[in-house]
């Protein structure tokens, strides 16, 4: 790429940058289908981006244009490495571009990517899309026990499953144990037909979906059959000592205090444990405290334990999801203020 900076005639507050990509096919992937990636860039950064073949012209404030140029350069580098450049990757590149040259270079060794990344044989390299995800990945790499709390759509479960699969492929652990409380989300489903696995599978489907993103289908099936990968309800953890394993408890806000204590004390030698949940979406009976909130209150700051908090701005699932979460959080804050009066 050969960026060319041209201030707009007669205007000191605006700028124009033209980028030329060497590979037309890669450029089209960067721009997105029907230039949807450029459209998102325009909305997020307040610039105007016009594509013509392998060229793109960006107009806006000098700062926004420089930021947009950095985003497109990072996306082009991703495409050259054979990685995706979807709308979510645009969000990640925007967040990363905002931090490059400011916060992270003072904190990390020279040559490290601004955001942490993980990769499995099936998924390839996957980089954190915002500062919270970067902190999350670093916490999982540096701590034996990590708590992650925050709203839906922030990547808590998906990244945790990916990290577990990575440890398994590297030989750092011998097995994966992935668990959820088998608690109905405010509904009464009655008796489910089938054997034990058929009864609990609906509660654990999100974990299976995440595993399929990071593992080949044959390897996943073989791992399930041999016990190298175990997906089980939280109640099945009682009485066990889990050694040389990566253990994930998802939807932990639905665990009671006793269940959480039971689960945390399963940690054995050579194991890693990750606990994720959204305290604002507990399905426990009214008046029953969440084991996740209690564990975070009691254990945060203890040596060997990491704690990451995701916010509304960290939602990466969809722009609309971010706005939905924000609306609910605003309503909750308003109710809290009224109750305090």
pLDDT digits (tens, 9 = 90+) for 155-196: 999 999 999 999 999 999 999 999 988 765 444 445 556 655
Let me know: does 295 contact 263? Beta carbons within 8 Å: no
Residue 107: which pLDDT band, with cuts at 50, 70 and 90? very low
Residue 143: which pLDDT band, with cuts at 50, 70 and 90? very high
At 178, phi and psi to the nearest 5? -120, 130
Are both 212 and 276 inside the same structural domain? yes
Domain boundary among 72, 104, 136: 104
Predicted local distance difference test score (pLDDT) of residue 111: 45
Are both 92 and 131 inside the same structural domain? no
Mean pLDDT of 309-334: 78
Are both 99 and 138 inside the same structural domain? no
Tell me what the pLDDT averaged over the chain comes to: 82
Let me know: does 244 contact 266? Beta carbons within 8 Å: no
Are both 171 and 285 inside the same structural domain? yes
pTM recorded for the entire structure = 0.72
Are both 37 and 169 inside the same structural domain? no
Domain boundary among 104, 131, 159: 104
Pairing of strands 14-20, 48-52: unpaired
Are both 289 and 195 inside the same structural domain? yes
CATH code at position 11? 3.30.1370.10
Residue 118 resides in a domain: no
- Interatomic CA distance for residues 165 and 175, integer angstroms: 9
CATH code at position 307? 3.40.50.300
Structural domain boundaries enclosing 307 = 123-340
- Interatomic CA distance for residues 280 and 292, integer angstroms: 11
Are both 248 and 156 inside the same structural domain? yes
Predicted local distance difference test score (pLDDT) of residue 147: 96
Domain boundary among 51, 70, 104: 104
- Interatomic CA distance for residues 279 and 292, integer angstroms: 7
Helix (H) / strand (E) element for 232: namely strand 229-233
Mean pLDDT of 119-146: 88
Angle, helices 196-214 vs 217-226, to 10°: value is: 140
Tell me how many domains the chain contains: 2
Residue 141 resides in a domain: yes
Are both 35 and 97 inside the same structural domain? yes
């Amino acid at each position: 790429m050969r960026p060319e900076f041209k201030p707009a005639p007669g205007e000191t507050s605006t700028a124009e940058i033209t980028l030329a990509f060497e590979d037309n096919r890669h450029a089209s992937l960067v721009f997105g289908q029907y230039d949807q990636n450029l459209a998102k860039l325009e909305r997020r950064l307040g610039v105007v981006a016009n594509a013509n073949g392998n060229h793109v012209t960006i107009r806006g404030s000098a700062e926004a244009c420089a930021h947009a140029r950095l985003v497109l350069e990072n996306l082009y580098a991703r495409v050259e490495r054979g990685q995706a450049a979807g709308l979510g990757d645009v969000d990640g590149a925007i967040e990363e571009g905002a931090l490059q040259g400011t916060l992270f270079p003072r904190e990390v060794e020279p040559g490290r990517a601004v955001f942490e990344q993980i990769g499995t044989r099936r998924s390839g390299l996957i980089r954190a899309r915002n500062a919270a995800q970067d902190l999350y990945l670093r916490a999982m790499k540096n701590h034996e026990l990590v708590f992650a709390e925050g709203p839906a759509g922030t990547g808590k479960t998906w990244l945790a499953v990916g990290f577990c699969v990575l440890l398994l492929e590297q030989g750092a652990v011998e097995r994966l144990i992935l668990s959820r409380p088998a608690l109905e989300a405010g509904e009464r489903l009655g008796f489910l037909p089938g054997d034990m696995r058929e009864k609990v599978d609906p509660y654990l489907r999100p974990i299976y979906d995440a595993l399929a993103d990071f593992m080949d289908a044959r390897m996943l099936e073989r791992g399930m059959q041999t016990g190298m990968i175990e997906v089980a309800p939280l109640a099945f953890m009682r009485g066990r000592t889990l050694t040389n394993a990566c253990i994930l408890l998802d939807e932990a806000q639905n665990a009671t205090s006793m269940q959480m204590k039971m689960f945390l004390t399963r940690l054995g030698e050579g194991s890693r444990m990750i606990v994720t949940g959204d305290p604002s979406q507990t399905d426990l009976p009214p008046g029953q405290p969440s084991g996740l909130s209690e564990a975070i209150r009691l254990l945060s700051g203890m040596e060997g334990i990491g704690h990451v908090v995701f916010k509304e701005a960290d939602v990466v699932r969809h722009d609309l999801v971010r706005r939905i979460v924000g609306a609910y959080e605003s309503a909750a804050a308003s109710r809290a203020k009224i109750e305090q009066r």
